[in-house]
Amino acid sequence: MAKPDNREDNPARIQNAIDNTMANLNEAEEYLDEHADEISAVDKESIESKNARRKESINGFIAEKQDETNAQE
């Protein structure tokens, strides 16, 4: 028998994902600020690319959280 779909905690789980992604983004930006002159151009580009994807993910999480919140109302 399949478990019932319990989505009550989805907004909280999505917020947790937003918080974690923001923390990783901020940590990477701080690292670049402090060590940009010490790392290779390839590594710098890699970190910048990851941060761009993190920003896209955050925007997606925010939209998903809004959808979940609206669905619960």
- The pTM score is 0.85
Q: What is the 3-state secondary structure (H, E, C) of the chain?
A: CCCCCCCCCHHHHHHHHHHHHHHHHHHHHHHHHHHCCCCCHHHHHHHHHHHHHHHHHHHHHHHHHHHHHHHHC
pLDDT tens digits along 36-72: 999 999 999 999 999 999 999 999 999 999 999 888 8
Residue (of 45, 52, 61, 60) closest to 25 by Cα position: 52
Supply the pLDDT for residue 46. Answer: 97
For 23-36, what is each residue's pLDDT tens digit? 999 999 999 999 99
